[in-house]
Structure 1
Amino acid sequence: MENEINIKNIDTKKRSSMEVTIFLLITFGMSIFFGVLIYLNIYNNVSIIALFMMLVPATGVAFAKELKTKNKNPTHVLHYLLIGNFVLSLCMIILRILGIVSDDAINALIGLITPLISIMILFYSWYKCPNLDPFANVKKVVAPILIFLFISIIGLIVMSKGKNINYTDLITDIFLILPNLVSQSILFFGEEYGWREFLQPVLQKKFGKRIGVILLGIIWQSWHIPFYFPDINWNIKMLLLRFCYLIALSILMGYIYMRSHNVWMCALVHLINNTIFGYLSNNSSDIYLGFLALSFVLSLFIFSKEYDKNQNCFNNEVNPPC
């Protein structure tokens, strides 16, 4: 009996390692592939590529789970929705590179498919996947999410010196955050299902909660680097600042994930971040100081009890099924 248990544990570890390998190969493989296309000016519509790349981490998880094992959990359907959307989007970009379709056609498809798939995934997660329930433990993380929203708005105003901001649009976008989470969930869930739901527990179990989440922030930012190729005059200070900020943001999201076990709340934070800081439009010294200050504040969450060694933040497994 003991030998059987040991063999089972070894098989589980091998399967987990293989899943992580497949996930990283897909996520970074696609990042490097599109980075090369951008660098060689084969296809450099960064806005379309960025939207596509937001689908990749979740698709990496889906391929990793479905290729190695016969998934009998409800996530099986979810994974094939993710894979199908990924393949369709990739085919459209390939057709664009070949000159068969236009960017306008891709944008039209995005406008049509994204809300449809987003609502399907959100509803299916709620209806069939208890561990992906969008409403699970929401009350536990309302306060830190609102704090993040507040300090992000203050940071935006300070860094922009209150100029070049259309406050009517900003207020409108803030009120549209929750509706946008519904209509664009495939994009933000697409990243967070990969980084927070899948990779964070793996890294934290292997390296500890604090080191694991810091490594996740480094990996997350490294994945973004090929998208900077259009800027031939790289700003090293800004690149380092991005590492600091995404590590700090990973600490906050890690806290929210461990506290709520709800990856949708991480997707919400991601959406808030993109919504607020999408209004920044310059590289002044105020931005450097502002993001350093914001990074410092967010990093303080690493001292919360959720990051304590003895605090159990996992649901029995590295990647609990639905």
Structure 2
Amino acid sequence: MGENLKQTKDEVSLFLFITFLITFLMGGFMLYVHKTMINVNLATFAEVQMFYPAFVVIALKMFYYKEEINNNILIFYKIYIGLFIISFAIQILGVFLFPHKLEIIQAIVLSIFSIVTFSLVIKNKENCFEKINMVFGKNFKMVIILAVIFFILKLVVSLVYAILPGQVFSISGNDISKTILSIITIPINIVLIWIMFFGEEFAWRGYLQPRLQVMFGKKLGVIILGFIWGFWHFPLCFMLYSPATPILCVISHVFYCTIIGVFLGYVYMKTGNLWSVIIIHIINNSSLSAGAGYGAILTLKDVAISILLFAIVYLPFIFTKEYKADKNEFNIQE
């Protein structure tokens, strides 16, 4: 057990080092673009950044355990690596060669790869995707129930913000209507953009969560994961989300990701299905978020209210039975 735990710690350390190295190197390039190229939509950097974590996980798995990986999973992994390389190249070259078409080209590439990989997962030859908790129909009823619960909780948060005039997070009735209508696009987005959200959830929930929970226990492991996930947004806070108040943005993201991570951790343990957190992540990004969007100017009051509200809504899930089992009971799947 001691040797396995040491190997787990070594792999986690390597994963974090490579993931943050890529993130901050691209963050430096993003800073250059931010300072010198006003005609580039920096939102494309955020989209490509979502691919980094899963790319690192897949690279590590193929390096350490390639002989143990099912051939169908290996094909899926290789396609994902191709998506990462192409998207990375398009982002770097596109800001110079076709800045006005960068967003649409990335969207086309994303949709093509999402459709191809979605078809592979749905076919699930030899039930191979069960090994990485990616069987679409697994605990499907519970997946849908938890997705609906998340949407309702998100709507409640939005309604509370709507009655808080004067806040940067204040939300209008029209915004809430758009949030409700956005649920219609979720099935389409699952097919067309799911692979982008896989880029985060395969790494954060599928890979890192069980390892941190073995190392630190179920509750503390998820809290540490939330801090890591939130801090990973550091470059985006400085150049995209809130360039005028980046420190407050980082603080806000660290708390938000830690708190919402408690709910996502609960969902993943409850369903044992990575699709559950992918779908919830899509709902979160497709509907109204608890933020003012890109370029927001935050105040300490805004951040405090946001943290308090999310803590009230999502932190109670840490007291569910899924978080009460002993840390050694959590199975790490390779």
Shared fold (TM-score greater than 0.5)?
Answer: yes
Give the Cα–Cα distance (whole angstroms) in 1 for the partners of residues 255 and 320 of structure 2. 19
The one-letter amino acid of 1:319's match is Q
2:73 aligned partner: 75
Runs of 5+ consecutive residues of structure 2 not aligned to the other structure: 164-170
Q: Which of 282, 286, 289 in structure 2 is aligned with 1:271? A: 282
2:87 aligned partner: 89
CA contact 1:55–1:190 (8 Å) conserved in 2: yes
The one-letter amino acid of 1:148's match is F
Runs of 5+ consecutive residues of structure 1 not aligned to the other structure: 1-5
The one-letter amino acid of 1:297's match is V
Q: Which of 166, 178, 186 in structure 2 is aligned with 1:169? A: 178
Give the Cα–Cα distance (whole angstroms) in 2 for the partners of residues 232 and 287 of structure 1. 15
Give the Cα–Cα distance (whole angstroms) in 1 for the partners of residues 249 and 89 of structure 2. 33
What secondary structure does 2:89 align onto?
Answer: helix
2:135 aligned partner: 133
What is the TM-score of this pair, normalised by structure 1?
0.85
Cα deviation for residue 207 of structure 1 reads 0.4
Give the Cα–Cα distance (whole angstroms) in 1 for the partners of residues 142 and 328 of structure 2. 16
CA contact 2:53–2:203 (8 Å) conserved in 1: yes
Give the Cα–Cα distance (whole angstroms) in 1 for the partners of residues 238 and 246 of structure 2. 11
Q: Which of 262, 271, 277 in structure 1 is aligned with 2:273? A: 262
2:318 aligned partner: 302
- Closer, same or farther in 2 for the Cα pair 1:221/1:290, shift >3 Å? closer
Give the Cα–Cα distance (whole angstroms) in 2 for the partners of residues 137 and 201 of structure 1. 19
What secondary structure does 1:103 align onto?
Answer: coil
Give the Cα–Cα distance (whole angstroms) in 1 for the partners of residues 273 and 321 of structure 2. 18
Give the Cα–Cα distance (whole angstroms) in 1 for the partners of residues 251 and 104 of structure 2. 36
Cα deviation for residue 78 of structure 1 reads 1.6
Give the Cα–Cα distance (whole angstroms) in 2 for the partners of residues 238 and 47 of structure 1. 16
The one-letter amino acid of 1:295's match is A
1:63 aligned partner: 59
Give the Cα–Cα distance (whole angstroms) in 2 for the partners of residues 88 and 25 of structure 1. 23
CA contact 2:259–2:314 (8 Å) conserved in 1: yes
Alignment of 1:1-322 (within 5 A): 10=3, 16-40=8-32, 41=35, 45-71=41-67, 72-73=69-70, 74-97=72-95, 99=96, 101-126=97-122, 127-128=124-125, 129-130=129-130, 131-161=133-163, 163=172, 165-230=174-239, 231-234=242-245, 236-278=247-289, 280-281=291-292, 283=298, 285=301, 288-310=304-326, 314=330, 316=331, 318-320=332-334
The one-letter amino acid of 1:211's match is L
- Closer, same or farther in 2 for the Cα pair 1:146/1:312, shift >3 Å? farther
CA contact 1:136–1:262 (8 Å) conserved in 2: yes
Give the Cα–Cα distance (whole angstroms) in 2 for the partners of residues 244 and 17 of structure 1. 24
Give the Cα–Cα distance (whole angstroms) in 2 for the partners of residues 219 and 38 of structure 1. 21
Count matched residues.
Answer: 308
Give the Cα–Cα distance (whole angstroms) in 1 for the partners of residues 23 and 264 of structure 2. 22
CA contact 1:251–1:299 (8 Å) conserved in 2: yes
What is the TM-score of this pair, normalised by structure 2?
0.82
Cα deviation for residue 36 of structure 1 reads 1.5
Give the Cα–Cα distance (whole angstroms) in 2 for the partners of residues 246 and 305 of structure 1. 21
Cα deviation for residue 294 of structure 1 reads 2.1
- Closer, same or farther in 2 for the Cα pair 1:125/1:42, shift >3 Å? farther
2:166 aligned partner: none
